[in-house]
Chain A
Amino acid sequence: MSERLTKSAARNIFYGGTIFFLVIFIGLTLHSHNYIVNESSNQDQLTPSVVAGKHVWERNSCINCHTLLGEGAYFAPELGNVWVRYGGQDDPEGARDMLKAWMAAQPTGIEGRRQMPQFNLTDQELDELVDFLKWTSEIDTQNWPPNEAG
């Protein structure tokens, strides 16, 4: 390594540069926080039911099989757009019933097919979970995923 760069100069570049990039990053994050709350998500529709649905989602560790907006395990289908996939935009009642019926039918026990556990959710919890998934499908994700398959 060049003799012109001394160790203390390298150290100062490290600390100075890190602070520089960290400040930019935090600034952009705060801007993005505002953007999410005001533009890309329906903060005003974050009802108690949607919030409770997020907790149902978390309590049952759904993320360790499914993905949500592409993040999670890759063992089961993407659910960020499951509301759209089930036709919730045209027929909300039908989609809700189908999702709840799906949850009730698990596990299928079909040989050679991946099994989803029976989580024994109450009817209210199921509604909350569906509300959460519906709310999630309405986040502006720059048009991701590319198609309904998720």
Chain B
Amino acid sequence: MKYQSQKVALYYIYGALTLFAAQILFGVVAGTVYVFPNVLSELLPFNVIRMIHTNALIVWLLMGYFGAAYYLLPEECETELHSPKMAIIQFWLFMAATAAAVVGYILGYHEGREFLEQPLPIKVGIVVVALMFLYNTTLTLLKGRKTAVSNVLMVALWFVALLFLFAFYNPSNLAVDKMYWWYVVHLWVEGVWELIMASILAFLMIKMTGVDREVVEKWLYVMVSLSLFTGILGTGHHYYWIGTPGYWQWIGNVFSTLEVVPFFAMVVFCFYMVWKGGRDHPNKAALLWSLGCSVMAFFGAGVWGFMHTLSSINYYTHGTQITAAHGHLAFYGAYVMLNLAIFTYALPYLRGREPYNQQLNMWGFWITTSAMAFMTFTLTFAGVVQTHLQRVLGMNYMEVQDQVALFYWMRLGAGVVVLIGVTMIIWSLVVAPRGPRVTAGARLPAE
């Protein structure tokens, strides 16, 4: 760690890991309700459990991006953050808004558009948090060195905030509502979040492989070009059946098929850089997470997305457990693993330690990743059966659900293993290591 102000990233990393734990716990509870439907049904209905599961995920990922930006911007810009104090205030405001939202959900205060359930004052709070963040980071960027990594990351984070403004637009016409709702949801996760992913991976590759920055940054521009050139019009795959014109089937088929390409490019990029660099970086776990992120994102977002993106297939699979399978592996592979990669990389520097608990962290990687893969397989099988019985044969929804009960049992099992794996990861990152403290500068990363 070269700059004192990078330390504010610690707040965000710990905050993110706290919400990560909450997200997984509520996920296990939701999985339990699937097999024991009467559990908690009066006290905490499924819709509230799911709101907390999804919202905690989104918020901790965002918190991780904020932390990552505060960590890498000073190094990229070669200057201290504009205001570390403001970053800390921003963190507590974000945490308070999140806590208020969760308590509110349990007490029944929420809005009702999926993922945008935050009551209006919380939404305004999120905008204030975003503005504080953008003010602080943009001024840091402006006064320092401008690199492709920091430029792409900041462009992405600006768009994250701008696109969120569509959350305030809730037209009475449901079809219009749905169309603009995707401006937030799709253009985040299949648009600008991919820019965040590519830029953080590029940063990690520069630091850990020692490959020349010029090479990495050229790759970065190619990857993010592919992401947006395919991802923006790829929104079409959400406009098949919501009252939008038929031409979206053509656009969605073509462009969302191509959405696999940027994810494949990220796999090639990460492995090629590691092979080309040949530098023996001590933080093996961070390297494992980086490579794993690109691979699992390719499968979760790329392959599992393509599986049901063609309109002739999606006509039958839309809104079944196939969608749930894709959602779980895509979020895990692309964005959960990305955050865990940068956390694993940054924490030893932030805490002035040797890379620690590597074995435990890597066991956590393999256990969690395997369990997520298994969960995805079970949901995919459930989805295929559901699609056939319900969409092809026309069997009643609840009867079909009884037919796929076995898969929900296996999903719950996978979820419990994920909980174990995540506990190991968080333990390896947070609990104080016993290794010796290193002197500053002894383990500076490559440039």
- Interface, chain A (partner B; CB < 8 A): 1, 5-7, 10-11, 13-14, 17-18, 21-22, 24-25, 28-29, 31-33, 35-37, 40-41, 43, 46, 50-51, 54, 57-65, 67-78, 107, 109, 111-115, 117, 132, 135-136, 139-142, 144-150
Contacts and interface: CB of A to CB of B under 8 A. Distances in A.
Closest 8 CB pairs of A and B: A58-B112, A70-B319, A64-B47, A10-B221, A144-B241, A115-B41, A77-B397, A70-B318
A78 B319 contact: yes
Contacts of B45: 65, 115, 117
Nearest to B327: A74
Interface in B385-403: 390-392, 394-398, 400-401
Contacts of A148: 394
B46 A7 contact: no
B228 interface: yes
Interface in B247-262: 247-249, 251
A144 B218 contact: no
Nearest to B319: A70
29 contacts: A1-B222, A6-B218, A7-B214, A17-B225, A21-B229, A21-B232, A22-B232, A25-B235, A28-B251, A29-B180, A33-B176, A35-B244, A41-B175, A61-B47, A64-B50, A64-B117, A69-B241, A72-B319, A73-B114, A75-B34, A77-B397, A111-B38, A113-B37, A114-B37, A114-B46, A117-B42, A139-B175, A142-B249, A150-B390
A36 B243 contact: yes
A115 B232 contact: no
Interface string B41-64: 110011110110000000000000
Nearest to B185: A71
Interface in B200-230: 214-215, 217-219, 221-222, 224-225, 228-229
Given A32-B239, A72-B319, A74-B320, A37 B173 contact: yes
A28 to B, nearest CB: 7
Contacts of A115: 37-38, 41-42, 45
